[in-house]
Structure 1
Amino acid sequence: MKILVADKISAKGVAYLREQPGFEVVEAYGSSPEQVLELVKDVHAIAVRSETKITREVLDAAPELKVVGRAGVGVDNVDVEAATERGVVVMNTPSGNTIATAELTFTHLLCGARPVPQAAATMKAGKWDRKAFAGVELFHKTLGIVGMGRIGGEVAKRAKAFGMRVVAYDPYLAPSRAKAMQVEGVELDTLLAESDFITVHMPLTDDTKYMIDEAALEKCKSGVRLFNCARGGIIKETALIAALKTGHVAAAGLDVYEDEPLAVDSELRSLPNVSLTPHLGASTAEAQAAVGVEIAEQITDVLKSGVIRNAVNMPSIDGAALKVLGPYLDLGTKLGTLVQQISPAQIAALKITYWGKIVDLDANAVTRAIQRGFLRRISADDVNDVNAPFLLKSLGIEAEVTKSNSDSDYTDLIQVEVVDGEGTSHRAVGTLLGKAQQPRIVGINGREVEVAAEGKLLVLENLDLPGMVGEIGTLLGRAGVNIADMSLSRLVQGETAYMVVRVDSEPKEAAREEIKAHPKIKLAKFVQL
């Protein structure tokens, strides 16, 4: 497999890739966009930092591409939407620069409390202005942390060591984790009102853009100090500049900006109470080495074993999770495939319901496996776990997932149901049986059946009359088709019954037509799992 290292990552990371049997590594630093288009024609993976742009055009030129790995956190230089459409995994390395960014954040905090950069500048200019640079202490002050992920957590540790009270806002922060980290989980308005220092550590999304704007700043204490080493745009720069001018915000420290590089004529450059750095969050030797090795390991895992970590466009599955989820992934894929083949072509909705132990697991990967299974026989595109949700949506099919706490007769149960344009439901139910966790089909369209979820199935709905099993057996026998096993089911005696026959080989077209034309058979579907 061919790996293009388009931007310079650590030498250890490149060496790791070169050590892998079967890998061809091409280093092409500083390539022009035209050169990149040529280089990607036969690559299976691309490693980048922030320089090379992985655009839709680049993705179109790379038919073999499976994964783009970003040695760093932000993926602004990768067209994630286009990659997802094409089934390309996009990964980053969120943990490699955690300590570096946390330490830079705390450097800005200290410079916001004690104006060291400003004092140093006057010293180099030959001045001695002791009285001009009085500061404040961190001790016993309240630090508000917006976003308590890895970096926010590391900042909190350092703040506690300085004797600060730490309050945190994060919609996903569990009370137990807040208690373990010795921080107080609060609402955003409370954090704004009570904090002497505020630092943001959220991703930039539609929900977080301008999270700290004019209205938010009005809720803050007069003399608050603000810091952003996460993403430009979380703090609204025009609002911050106005508040810095009035003194409502006493000081600020920024490493990221709404537009980068920061414009030469930006007012931020001229304000005396702001410390600015040029996006240095991950700029330590240790961080660069860590993210280079980490992205090399992640790319290797994807290409060699399908293990995906730190993906930004699909659920990540590490080795331990894959071991637990593997049987569910297999079952889900087969249920999706089965339902697609027993349903009409025009589908309005795909509904997935989980019962049992799987409810307590992260079933996102299983959901994607079901979607992939449903699409794999009907989509003209190469379907995988990355692009399955996109392709489903492009067909106008709404996806719905439910985790049920109601009782079932099985330890685990997955139901895949589709609803056609007329509102008619078509569904299949499956479970895992035995120590080997073998996938089994235990229900089709409301009828209880029990058959192995593998191979080739003949699904029949027939009149509930004596001799039907024999007639089907005779038809298949004449066609030279051997029956592996069979499951029978009915709701009311004398009406219709379901027969699911697992066969060793596919009946020829003539035999299938004969079965479909049988006057006692209402439905006949040949299914390949």
Structure 2
Amino acid sequence: MTVRIAVLDDYQGVALRHGRWADLPGDTEVTPLREHVPDPGRLVELLRGHQVVVAMRERTPLPRAVLEQLPELRLLVTTGMQNASIDMAAAAGLGITVCGTQSDSSGPAELTWGLVLALARHVVPEDAATRAGRWQQTVGTGLRGRTLGLVGLGRIGGLVGQVGVAFGMRVLAWSQNLTPERAAEVGAEAVSKERLLAESDVVSLHLRLSDRSRGIVGAAELAAMKPTAVLVNTSRGPLVDEAALVRALHDGTIAGAGLDVYDDEPVRPGAAILSAPNTVLTPHLGYVTDSTYDVFYGQAVEDVAGFLTGAPVRVLAAPERPR
């Protein structure tokens, strides 16, 4: 029997290159889907008849209503070890095994600094000006001696903080469970959220999205920031009230924003954030590096191979009665 494998959201068309799919045991057929499929009905049509689905991060939601309509699905693989877009309980209840992969924290941390530097040195407008024949239109902001505020100090936030220290910045950090000892590990000072917002020149978000963290930066938090400060978000879009952010940018409440994540992804044409001033916007590229994709797709193949041989690995949801 041929095992049919669908790979979702292969935007760049690289899934087959980054994974050794030919090494899978038995007869397998791998079909990468390059286009994002937001319509659940269309998604079900495309996935019917597949025994395995590989999901790239949280690009495509897989709720119970979708999974119930895929009776042949036996294995669901997500890149990363967490995926809020997959109904894990529903998958297990329907007899579907869910496995994950490891990930690399360096990519999002590096992109965070790409956004910070682009904002501080006006890279985007200066690039456009240079191409148009205009020379040195703005005055940039140096980072040495400035204050970096980290909302969240996990793996990625810690890497960002270490670079801030290397740049000669003062680093403040806050999260609901942050200890002074953890902050000291990366050269940061643990402070209240209010103090972080009031004193930081760069506020960078590094939290997981949950009911507790959703909207953690809203109109009040933006108003508490310096008018010369910038906000950077490479974590999850809904951490920020996007409508409030757009208003703050138009009103000059803050000086700018660097965003890699949004309320709706892909961002729809005409979305208000696209016309907000003083922004650097990237399409959720934080984890999109060759080394990360080697891990994601390489371990996705390992997950499939383990499942097919009866020894699944990196299991996130194990059904009592597999299909």
Shorter-chain TM-score: which interval?
Answer: 0.7 to 0.9
Asked if 1:95 corresponds to 2:80, the answer is no
TM-score when scaled to structure 1? 0.52
Q: Unaligned stretches of 5+ in structure 1? A: 315-381, 387-529
Q: Which residue of 2 aligns with 1:319?
A: none
Q: In 2 relative to 1, CA 296–145 (structure 1 residues): closer, same or farther, beyond 3 Å?
A: farther
Pick aligned residue for 1:39 from 32, 49, 60: 49
> In structure 1, what is the Cα distance between the partners aligned to 2:297 and 2:113?
24
**Once superposed, what is the RMSD of the aligned Cα atoms?**
3.1
Aligned to 1:233, the other structure's residue is in SS state helix
> In structure 1, what is the Cα distance between the partners aligned to 2:246 and 2:71?
47
Q: CA deviation at 1:14?
A: 3.8
> In structure 1, what is the Cα distance between the partners aligned to 2:91 and 2:312?
17
Q: Note the alpha carbon deviations across 1:21-46, whole angstroms, 9 max, x for none.
A: 4x543212239635544323xx2x42
Q: Which residue of 2 aligns with 1:85?
A: 93
Q: Which residue of 2 aligns with 1:383?
A: 320
Asked if 1:26 corresponds to 2:32, the answer is no
Q: CA deviation at 1:3?
A: 6.0
Q: Which residue of 2 aligns with 1:255?
A: 260
Aligned to 1:286, the other structure's residue is in SS state helix
Aligned to 2:222, the other structure's residue is in SS state helix
Q: In 2 relative to 1, CA 249–306 (structure 1 residues): closer, same or farther, beyond 3 Å?
A: same
> In structure 2, what is the Cα distance between the partners aligned to 1:187 and 1:4?
48
> In structure 1, what is the Cα distance between the partners aligned to 2:306 and 2:178?
30
Asked if 1:119 corresponds to 2:56, the answer is no
Task: Return the letter of the residue paired with 2:119.
Answer: G
Aligned to 1:305, the other structure's residue is in SS state coil
Which structure has the bigger radius of gyration?
A: 1
Q: Which residue of 2 aligns with 1:288?
A: 293
Aligned to 1:240, the other structure's residue is in SS state helix
CA contact (8 A) 2:233 2:261 kept: yes
> In structure 1, what is the Cα distance between the partners aligned to 2:82 and 2:280?
22
Q: Which residue of 1 aligns with 2:154?
A: 149
Asked if 1:209 corresponds to 2:210, the answer is no
Asked if 1:68 corresponds to 2:76, the answer is yes
Count residues with an aligned counterpart: 308
Pick aligned residue for 1:266 from 271, 274, 277: 271
> In structure 2, what is the Cα distance between the partners aligned to 1:95 and 1:189?
32
After TM superposition, the runs of 4+ consecutive aligned structure 1 residues lying more than 6 A away are none
Q: Unaligned stretches of 5+ in structure 2? A: 35-41
CA contact (8 A) 2:48 2:70 kept: no
Q: Which residue of 1 aligns with 2:37?
A: none
> In structure 2, what is the Cα distance between the partners aligned to 1:300 and 1:198?
43
TM-score when scaled to structure 2? 0.82
Q: Which residue of 2 aligns with 1:163?
A: 168
Q: In 2 relative to 1, CA 161–89 (structure 1 residues): closer, same or farther, beyond 3 Å?
A: farther
> In structure 2, what is the Cα distance between the partners aligned to 1:202 and 1:99?
15
Q: CA deviation at 1:113?
A: 1.0
Task: Return the letter of the residue paired with 2:78.
Answer: R
CA contact (8 A) 1:10 1:293 kept: no
> In structure 2, what is the Cα distance between the partners aligned to 1:20 and 1:265?
43
Task: Return the letter of the residue paired with 2:23.
Answer: E
Q: Which residue of 1 aligns with 2:7?
A: 6
Q: CA deviation at 1:71?
A: 2.6
Aligned to 1:68, the other structure's residue is in SS state strand
Q: Which residue of 1 aligns with 2:38?
A: none
CA contact (8 A) 1:72 1:282 kept: no
> In structure 2, what is the Cα distance between the partners aligned to 1:24 and 1:74?
29
Q: Which residue of 2 aligns with 1:464?
A: none
